[in-house]
Amino acid sequence: MAEGRRRERRRSPLLWAAVAAFILVVDASFVEDLDDSFKENRKDDIWLVDFYAPWCGHCKKLEPVWNEVGKEMGSTGSPVKVGKMDATSYSSIASEFGVRGYPTIKLLKGDLAYNYRGPRTKDDIVEFANRVAGPIIRPLPSQQMFEHVQKRHRVFFLYIGGESPLKEKYIEVASELIVYTYFFSASEEILPEYVTLPEMPAVIVFKDGTYFVYDEYEDGDLSSWISKERFQGYLNVDGFTLYELGDTGKLVAIAIIDDKNTSVEHIRLKSIMQDVAKNYRDHFHRSFQFGHMDGNEYMNSLLMDDLKIPTIVVLNTSNQQYFLPHKTIESTEDMVQFINEILEGTAEAHGGDGILQRIKRIIYDAKSTVGSVFKSSPLLGCFLFGLPLGVISIMCYGICMADSDGRSDEAEVSKKESTGRELTDEGTEEEQEEENSENRLEFPGGEQEQKTIFEKKKD
C-alpha cells in the first residue's frame, strides 16, 4: 500500500505538468500565427495583433497573457480575431503598420490601426479591444442604460444634444482618443436629476462620483480638455501612468510612500494628497494631477536624485523639472501652500532639460547600466567591460612601445650621423695638414721666398 502511495506521488507532478501543457495548447489555439497573406485577407475582419520578435524578452513574457486574451475573446463570441506575427520574418508588413519596437499591439479595423499603450494584462487588453472594436460613439437610449454604464466605467464622456458643430468636434476627438476611454451620446431625458446643464448642447465627463461640464471659454480646446480629464482625480501612479500623464500638460503631485508601511507618516501623506485632490479640485484641477507612488526607485531614476520616503514631489513632465517642499508637509493646509508657491513661481525648481542635465542623464544612465549588469551577473559584467578595456590597454601599450622604439632609433641614427660628421671633419683637417706640408716642401724658403717668386712672376 505504501508502495502504491509512492507511485501515486510520483505520478502527480507528471499529471499536473501534462494538464498545464494541455491548457497552454488550448489557449494558444485561439491565437492565429499570421504570415504574409495577412495583408490581403485582414480587411474583412477586426484583428488584434501582437507584433513580436523571437529574441525579445518582453515578448516572451507577454506570450502567456496573449494566449489568455485569445481565449477570452474567442470564448465570449467577440468579433475581434486575435493573432500574432513575427515582425522579424515579415518586416515589410510590420513596417507598413508602423511597428518600431517589440512587442507592439495593434487593433486593425478596416483601414485604421489603433495602438495599444496600456498595461500588458489580460483584462486591460481585452477592454481595449472591445472598446475600439465597437462604435466610436455609443448611444444611451435609457436612464437604466446610463446607470449601467456609470457602474461599469470609472471615467466616461457623454454628449448631450442634437446635431451641432460641438457634436462634430466630439466625434472627431473620439475617433482619436477611443484608445483611452469611452464616448457616449444621449438626450437630456436620460440624465439623473442631480445633473444640471448650463446650456445645450454639452459635453460631460463622469468620474470620481460626480460630473464636470466642458466650458469652451475656460477649458479651451475640446481635445485638450478630454486628454486632461480622462484620468481620475487621484491615481495610483506607476511609470506607465506617469508617461501617459505627460500628454495632459499638468503638473503631477505625487506622495512617494511604501504601500506596505502602515506608519503614521506614510498614511498621513497619502491622506493629505487625497484630500487636496477631492476638496480643492476647483482650485487646482486644470493645472495639477494628484496621486501616490509605491516606492522611490522609479522616481529616483527619473529625477537622478535620492528621494527619501515618505516624501512629496511635484513633477513637470514637459521639461523634467521637479519641486520638493522646503519643509515637512504636516497638513492639507501645508500642501495647499506648497502648491500655491509653485503656481506663483516662488518654489525652487530642480532638474530640467538643459544641456548640463542632459550630460548628467547620459552619465547617470551609463553608471546605472554598468551597475545593473554587475549586480545581476558579475561574470558577464567582467567579460563585457573587462575584455574591451583589456584590448584598449594592449593597443595603448603597443602604441607607446612603438613610439619609444621610434625615438630610440632616431636617437641612434642621430648619434651615427654626428659621429660621421666628426670623422669627416677630422679627415678634412688631416688633408689640409698634408696639403700644407706639401706646400712647405715645394717652397722651402718659406713665406718670404714665396713672396719673391710671386713678385718675379708679376714682372
Q: How far is CA 33 from CA 61, 75, 126, 294, in A?
A: 17, 18, 19, 38
Nearby residues of 34 by Cβ (< 8 Å), 6 or more positions away: 49, 83, 84, 85, 90
Contacts made by residues 39-44, CB under 8 angstroms, sequence distance 24+: 39/93, 39/96, 42/108, 43/110, 43/111
Compute the distance between CA of residue 229 and CA of residue 220 in angstroms, rounded to an integer.
13
Strand residue runs (E) in 216-320? 234-236, 251-257, 288-294, 311-316
Using the 8-state DSSP alphabet, how is residue 231 labeled? S
Residue indicated by cell numbers 594592449: 394
Instruction: Count CB-CB contacts under 10 A for residue 156.
Output: 20
Contacts made by residues 132-136, CB under 8 angstroms, sequence distance 24+: 132/107, 132/178, 132/179, 133/46, 133/78, 133/79, 133/80, 133/107, 133/109, 136/171, 136/174, 136/175, 136/178, 136/183
Compute the distance between CA of residue 219 and CA of residue 214 in angstroms, rounded to an integer.
7
Compute the distance between CA of residue 198 and CA of residue 218 in angstroms, rounded to an integer.
14
Compute the distance between CA of residue 231 and CA of residue 36 in angstroms, rounded to an integer.
39
Query: Computed from CA positions of residues 429, 431, 436, 440, in that sequence, does the dihedral angle turn out positive or negative?
Result: positive
Strand residue runs (E) in 111-150? 112-115, 138-139
Strand pairing class (182-186; 210-213):
unpaired
**Would you state the cell numbers that stand for residue 372, as one nine-digit string?**
545593473
Compute the distance between CA of residue 313 and CA of residue 269 in angstroms, rounded to an integer.
11
Active-site residues, by number, are: 56, 59
Side chain identity, residue 165: P
